[in-house]
Structure 1
Amino acid sequence: MTSQAFDFHLPTKLNASIPPERRGIRRDQVKMMVLNKQSGQVYHDEFCQLEHYLQEGDLLVLNNSRTIPALLRARFHPNHQKEPSIIEVKLARKLNEFEWEALILSDEVSEGEVLHFSPTLSATVLNQKSPTPLSRILFSKGGTELLEEVYMIGEPIRYEYIHKPWSLEYYQTVFATTPGSLEMPSAGRAISWELLFRLQKKGIQIAFLQLHTGLSYFLDDNLLPSPEQNSEKYMIPEKTMNKVLDTKKRGSKVLAVGTTVVRALETASKTSCLNGWTNLYITEESRLQLVDGIITGFHEPKASHLDMLLAFVPKEKLFPAYEEALNKQYLWHEFGDINVIL
């Protein structure tokens, strides 16, 4: 499901196709639009000035999931032909140590087909495109062995606005630790160690959780998964939740760095589970229990993430701010600029 409330024209030139570091600036020098959710006032700055918009005692919660190279290429023999076909397979969701859901970019692959990724790694297709475009595949290796193979042969998933392949390091946040995300938790990409140091020096707290992102796009706008169809694994350390609750009790702000952090924290608030799966769909009707503000990228027209933003600020304030971002040539997507709602 996508947002029906906010559609707009996003010029192609505003799709960030090049990492900031390759555009001659640091990660934390991307542009930042700060939106005051009470007044609707908008401020324009660089992201490296973030500490000037936060107060001592505020808490930033970061997703430290590490991106894996989830685009694989496989050989298989359609109709038992001698010459193999080469196809792309995008990992979509880990089911267990050996089984994954994946998007197989071929109409020729059927149930029972064996896909050969390398001389030492293969996978059997267990079912094909039912009831979603995703297939369940069973790898010949699991756990750490499988992850090591994936790192050797895989590439980061990229979409049509990225015109050339960039190495995996460009798809990592500087604080990423545990591998598992199939797409980068991109809101934290602009954060540098220097910025984290300055934030902490000012008395702003930092805490971490993990949410491993799944595949968000199936190459067909009519098949976009809704948040309810996109279950993602999360893990919140007890010390992080204690920091969140203590910050709320003191009246300071809890800021989520990314929509993934919002989903994890608000799911935990509803379920009282610090570890589990979330398919929480947050909209303007949602009453946020733990998160006061969000640091995020700019979201494309009619994206479900726009519905989440309406839980922070009403459309009468959000939509004009987005129009201003368009007019001021802010850049969209994972290599783009940052929107802060406080």
Structure 2
Amino acid sequence: MTVTFSLPPALEARTPAEPRDGVRLMVSRGTSVSHHRFTELPHLLDPGDLLVVNNSGTLPAALQTLDGVLVHVSTSQPDGSWLVELRDTDIARTGLRLRVPEGSLTLLRPFTSRLWVAAADVPGDRVSYLTRHGRAIRYSYTDRDWPIETYQNVYATVPGSAEMPSAGRPLTGAVLAALAGQGVLVAPITLHTGVASAEVDEPPYPEWFRIPPSTAGLISHVRASGGRVIAVGTTVVRALETGTGEGWTDLVISPDHPIRVVDGLLTGLHEPRASHLMMLTAVAGEDALRESYTEALREHYLWHEFGDVHLLLR
């Protein structure tokens, strides 16, 4: 995948867009690119199309330890351990015990180049504990901390994500109502996202997902009727292309992995060298992706979770 570019700091969205649906929307159909406001989305889709959204809610997953260390809590593992990222990577080592409110975290072993498996000696599960003691994860391109509500999609009903499934942030109640009025369907899946640190480039690791039978049935009906299945976010693509039911997905989608379910993708704009760009290439093709990102830079679109949005149609 040879889509490479430099992202000027001026194109990093530093504050939340308000109203949420006031962001810009770039639409790619092959190498043809057009520019819109997000509120035009209902008129850019066809009656009978299906938007699949991720209803995972964002947790306040940044945790300040009593030792002064900032920890990003990623996902829970089936054995009850947590995956965590120490923002000060120089101190991470096997056996390190970090004091946290009401308990401790002990690093057991490395999981990736930046994540560690940790034993969590705290009351309650990850969701309830972080709800009491955490704050929203933020990176250096944002100006300040924002309330966790800023990172919740309006349809988020199942808390569990370390970072916001941000492609759906502009989907306000007004836009969802307009989609319904146009005959565009909406259905949920759940995929709890882990930490995707902005400073590194690595493939996604296993994340828990669930596709409800009602959503699976609706997808089959829409495809049989000639409608399009459009994923809202790369998390949705990962879940749908993994299969049905629920479990842990370690699927990494690249041009070598044929897309079977998804006909389009609504997503944000991704950093240079991000693994998400491999997925976008699989959905739209390399020429289309290169042309759209050239346009986004030329037209000064904004990047990151508070930025503008890109609709890729196959």
- In 1, Cα distance between the equivalents of 2:255 and 2:262? 14
Aligned to 1:196: 176
SS in structure 2 at match of 1:336: coil
State whether structure 2 residue 3 is matched by structure 1 residue 20. Answer: no
- CA positional deviation for 1:110: 4.1
Residues 113-128 of structure 1: matches in 2 within 5 Å?
Answer: 113-118=96-101, 120-127=102-109
- Provide the residue aligned with 2:94 in structure 1: 111
The answer as to 2:228 corresponding to 1:237 is no
> Once structures 1 and 2 are overlaid, which stretch shifts more, 244-253 or 157-166?
157-166
- Residues 46, 131 of structure 1: CA spacing in aligned structure 2 closer, same or farther, 3 A cutoff? closer
Does 1:5 find its partner at 2:26? no
Point out the structure with max Rg over C-alpha.
1
Distance 2:217 2:206 in 1: 25
Alignment-derived partner of residue 79 in structure 1: none
Tell me the CA shift for residue 123 of structure 1. Answer: 2.5
Calculate the aligned-residue CA RMSD, in Å: 1.7
> What is the Cα deviation at residue 274 of structure 1?
1.4
8 Å Cα contact 1:97/1:143 also seen in 2? no
Name the aligned partner's letter for residue 112 of structure 1. Answer: G
Q: Look up the SS of the partner of 2:167 in the other structure.
A: helix
* Partner residue, 1:42: 33
1:325 aligns with: 296
* Stretches of structure 1 lacking an aligned partner (at least 5 in a row): 76-84
On the 8 A contact 1:98/1:143 being kept in 2, the answer is no
| 1:280 lines up with 2:280 in the alignment | no
Residue type at the aligned position of 1:63:
N
Partner secondary structure for residue 263 of structure 1: helix
Q: How many residues align?
A: 312
Q: Which residue of structure 2 aligns with residue 341 of structure 1?
A: 312
Cα distance change, pair 109–305 in 1 and its aligned pair in 2 (3 A):
closer
Distance, in Å, in 1 between the alignment partners of 2:214 and 2:227 is 17
Q: So what's the TM-score if we normalise by structure 2?
A: 0.94
Quick check: 2:209–2:249 contact (8 Å CA) kept in 1? yes
Letter in 2 for 1:225: E
Query: Following TM superposition, by how much is the alpha carbon of 1:156 offset from its aligned partner in structure 2, in angstroms?
Result: 1.1
3-state SS, counterpart of residue 284 of structure 2: coil
Farther-moved stretch of structure 1 (325-334 vs 99-108) = 99-108
State, as a whole percentage, how many aligned pairs show the same letter.
Answer: 39
- Secondary structure of 1:310's aligned partner: helix
TM-score, normalised with respect to structure 1: 0.86
Distance in 2 of aligned mates of 1:264 and 1:130: 22
The answer to whether the 8 Å contact 2:127/2:160 transfers is no
CA distance in 2, matches of 1:61, 1:291: 10
Name the residue aligned to 1:99: 81
3-state DSSP class of the match of 2:27? strand
Q: 1:225 aligns with which of 188, 195, 202?
A: 202
* CA distance in 1 between partners of 2:91 and 2:281 (Å): 42
Q: Residues 114, 9 of structure 1: CA spacing in aligned structure 2 closer, same or farther, 3 A cutoff? A: closer
